[in-house]
Structure 1
Amino acid sequence: MQTKSHNFLDIRGVVKTYRNPRGQDLVVLDGIDLTVGETEYVSIVGHSGCGKSTLLKLVAGLEQPTEGSLTLEGKPIRKPGAERMMVFQQYSLLPWLTVRDNIQLAVDEVLKTKSRQERRQITEEHIRLVHLEAAADKYPDQISGGMKQRVGIARALAIRPKLLLMDEPFGALDALTRRRLQEEVLGIWETHRQAVIMITHDVDEAVYMSDRIVLMSNGPKARIAEILNVNLPRPRPSRHDLREMKTYHELRNHALDFLERSYKS
């Protein structure tokens, strides 16, 4: 897919080292180079311990690299910012606030220059976007896991970030809910294009949703082993039609073979 910019997000020579309890340095990421276009959907796939979440935290500004640089639109990433929003697997909702109020809180905090009426309209728009109108006045403990994740996604999208970061956003959901939410998120992204980086262990999910798939080598000292271009039509065909495509099977099998080889190594 053609993007408006090839250096929207620029990750260059990133190394991340942690010190273990014995005072020894542990290199988690060892020389990461990656660019992401401003409307590109990129998935990061690899075994546990390969530094996927660490890389996402670096992009989010939650941590700083030991070496190398990360820039967004040419500006160094040094701390969290509203232009980069994360969606976590663990929902992260405030239990004493309703669905509407969880979203409204983020909108009020970030979009302070807009009028109160405009902020309320944005909240209601995003409640509709994720089909939560009937649950808008319920509390987190009154809704399902899939609904909670919808709230998290709506909250992230409502503040109009330039880059959406998702750390296994569907990992805690049952298979049917997971598939439905994948389709909803992809539909929203098709309508409101933005850069997305998603971590997943699910190869089918990565192929279905992404423009490119980043395959990570095993940690420690994890690197980008390979990047797959997902040359499938957008909007995506039905899953049935997708499974009939030779390209889909080639991409899926290539990624699965990589994971199997790296697991044995």
Structure 2
Amino acid sequence: MYDYNTATTHYTRERDREEFLVIENLVKAFPTPDGGRVVILDGINLTIGAEEYISVIGHSGCGKSTLLRIVAGLDKATSGLVTLEGKEIRKPGADRMMVFQNYALLPWLTVRENIRLAVDEVLDGASRAEKAGLIDEHLAMVNLTQAADRYPDEISGGMKQRVGIARALITRPKMLLMDEPFGALDALTKRKLQKQVLEIWEGHRQAAMMITHDVDEAIYMSDRIILMTNGPEAKIGEILNVPFPHPRDRHAIYESEEYHKLRDRALDFLEQYQ
């Protein structure tokens, strides 16, 4: 029902995929005090579809977040090329919005005002009434209507992360970038928010790239799982196709034989690099 591919084989087949985001021969290196350099990412090749949800997994130090930051335009590759719809990514843009693990909210602004920041920055041609309506719509989408006038220190971690998600989605970006968005949450809140984010994504399809350490999370949410070798000189070691259709039923997935095979495959790969 599904197949596993090496990175090289899968990249060749990806040439048939709609080339929405394309990463070619990407290398990221940092200089060392002795005049040399340490290579963090070495020869990354990956293509992501316009409505595809992928997760990137690997041990700490493998360059996962660095790769995400390069796609976001917050960092630059040492060599190689990253393009979105054929245009090279050189800086941040409203077509790629980031959800951070640490929420990145301004503490002196309310929930509504934090979301309004993104609206004012990107949708400057919209009227005041249009902006207000859009904010209300997205507050409702993440179940934060009742908390709209609270400040970040008055809401829970899960609610803060929902603010970040609403802020990212409200500009209708072409790509959603998430750096361990559920990593700081307790188990129950994490499961609820995973489900909510996946339901939102299923209703508003866009490219999504998520960094995670959680294999179960990656299987539940993703179309493909990108497994990274250890750094330095980290590479894409393997790419796993997730066979489950959207919308997804967590319990049905976890009870399936395919889930257990996929999970074992991912864990076996990660155990090689412990």
Tell me the distance in 2 between the aligned counterparts of 1:51 and 1:19: 16
With 228-237 and 193-202 compared, the bigger mean Cα shift is at 228-237
Q: How does 1:219-238 map to 2 (within 5 A)?
A: 219-237=231-249
Q: Which residue in the other structure is 2:256 paired with?
A: 245
Tell me the distance in 2 between the aligned counterparts of 1:91 and 1:9: 25
Seq. identity, %: 66
Q: Which residue in the other structure is 1:206 paired with?
A: 218
Q: Give 1:240 deviation, angstroms.
A: 2.2
Within the candidate set 186, 192, 216, 2:198 is matched to 186
* TM-score, normalised relative to structure 1: 0.96
Q: How does 1:113-128 map to 2 (within 5 A)?
A: 113-128=125-140
Report whether the alignment pairs 1:66 with 2:78.
yes
With 211-220 and 104-113 compared, the bigger mean Cα shift is at 104-113
Tell me the distance in 1 between the aligned counterparts of 2:55 and 2:242: 11
Q: Output the amino acid matched with 1:163.
A: M
Tell me the distance in 2 between the aligned counterparts of 1:21 and 1:47: 25
Q: Give 1:5 deviation, angstroms.
A: 5.9
Tell me the distance in 1 between the aligned counterparts of 2:48 and 2:239: 12
Q: How does 1:157-168 map to 2 (within 5 A)?
A: 157-168=169-180
C-alpha contact (below 8 Å) 1:5/1:38 kept by paired residues? no
Tell me the distance in 2 between the aligned counterparts of 1:148 and 1:259: 31
Q: Give 1:22 deviation, angstroms.
A: 3.5
Tell me the distance in 2 between the aligned counterparts of 1:217 and 1:141: 38
Aligned residues: 260
Q: Deviations over 1:155-196 (max 9, x none)?
A: 000111100000000000000000000000000000000000
Q: Give 1:109 deviation, angstroms.
A: 1.1
Q: Deviations over 1:175-228 (max 9, x none)?
A: 000000000000000000000000000000000000000000000000000100
Tell me the distance in 1 between the aligned counterparts of 2:36 and 2:212: 30
Q: Which residue in the other structure is 1:260 paired with?
A: 271
C-alpha contact (below 8 Å) 2:17/2:47 kept by paired residues? no
Q: Output the amino acid matched with 1:15.
A: V
Tell me the distance in 1 between the aligned counterparts of 2:17 and 2:116: 31
Q: Give 1:96 deviation, angstroms.
A: 0.4
Tell me the distance in 2 between the aligned counterparts of 1:98 and 1:24: 47
Q: Give 1:17 deviation, angstroms.
A: 0.6
Within the candidate set 20, 26, 30, 1:14 is matched to 26
Tell me the distance in 2 between the aligned counterparts of 1:123 and 1:198: 24
Within the candidate set 118, 121, 135, 1:109 is matched to 121
Tell me the distance in 2 between the aligned counterparts of 1:28 and 1:96: 37
Report whether the alignment pairs 1:28 with 2:52.
no
Q: Give 1:76 deviation, angstroms.
A: 0.4
Tell me the distance in 2 between the aligned counterparts of 1:5 and 1:257: 28
Structure 1 stretches (4+) deviating beyond 2 angstroms?
20-24
C-alpha contact (below 8 Å) 1:9/1:71 kept by paired residues? yes
* TM-score, normalised relative to structure 2: 0.93
C-alpha contact (below 8 Å) 1:44/1:52 kept by paired residues? yes
Q: Deviations over 1:127-173 (max 9, x none)?
A: 00000011110000000000000000000001111000000000000
Q: Which residue in the other structure is 1:45 paired with?
A: 57
Q: Give 1:114 deviation, angstroms.
A: 1.5
